Structure formats: structure tokens, C-alpha cells
């Protein structure tokens, strides 16, 4: 049992906690990208040429931050969806019902569930 007396922590709960952590991290990354984008706009508005503006941009570049965030969210979101589908199946929810809940095909859910048994 958990500290609050709820059900024991399972793979789906851990995946959701990981997703939440990654969302917080990505939000901070996106805020930094936003701040940087505003600075670039201000530099451009002051009359600086694009070459000068872009040449002085520090790494990680805005586009690099965005790419990292997208990859992180894709991985964490996929893990959450996979573990959530497995948890629902463990509660005897049909593949068709899980597919309807997720808004995908039953074939997609079957593929997700195979990933939980074939981690290769």
C-alpha cells in the first residue's frame, strides 16, 4: 500500500510519476526557449541582421531545446500509455474498450500490450 492507504504502486503509477516529472522539466525548458525567443525578437526589432542575431545565440539553441522536449515527452507519454493499457488489461478491461478509451484501434492497443511482454 501507498502512504495514503491506496493501492500499491504499480508500473502504471510509476510511469505516470515519470511523465509528471518530465512535464515539469519540459515546462522549464520551454520557458527558457520562450525567453530566448523573446530576446531574439528584441534583437531583430532593434535592427540587427538575422545572421548577427543567430550567430550570437547560445547553445542549446531554441530549436535544440524544442527537439529535446518533444523527444522526452514522446518517450514518457508512450511509456505511460503502454503501462496504462497494461494496467487496464490487468483489471480485465477488454482490448476494444481500452482502444475506445484511448481513441485508437484495437490493433494499436494489441501492439502496446505486446511491448509490455516483449521489451526488446
Closest CA to 111 of 100, 95, 97: 95
Q: Cell 495514503 identifies what position?
A: 4
Q: C-alpha cell of 63?
A: 530549436
- At 75-102, the pLDDT tens digits run 999 999 999 999 999 999 999 999 999 9
**Assessment of whether the complete model's pTM goes beyond 0.75:** yes
Q: What pLDDT is stored for residue 36 in this prediction? A: 95
| Dihedral Cα 53, 56, 58, 59, nearest 10 deg | 90
What is the arithmetic mean of pLDDT over 27-31? 97
- At 64-78, the pLDDT tens digits run 999 999 999 999 999
Q: How confident is the model at residue 116 (pLDDT cuts 50, 70, 90)?
A: confident
Amino acid at each position: 500500500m501507498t502512504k495514503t492507504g491506496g493501492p500499491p504502486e504499480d508500473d502504471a503509477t510509476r510511469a505516470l510519476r515519470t511523465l509528471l516529472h518530465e512535464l515539469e522539466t519540459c515546462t522549464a525548458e520551454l520557458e527558457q526557449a520562450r525567453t530566448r525567443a523573446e530576446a531574439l525578437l528584441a534583437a531583430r526589432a532593434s535592427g540587427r541582421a538575422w545572421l548577427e542575431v543567430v550567430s550570437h545565440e547560445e547553445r542549446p539553441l531554441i530549436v535544440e531545446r524544442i527537439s529535446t522536449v518533444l523527444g522526452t515527452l514522446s518517450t514518457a507519454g508512450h511509456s505511460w500509455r503502454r503501462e496504462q493499457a497494461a494496467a487496464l488489461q490487468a483489471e480485465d478491461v477488454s482490448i476494444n474498450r481500452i482502444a475506445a478509451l484511448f481513441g485508437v484501434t484495437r490493433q494499436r492497443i494489441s501492439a502496446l500490450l505486446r511491448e509490455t511482454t516483449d521489451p526488446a
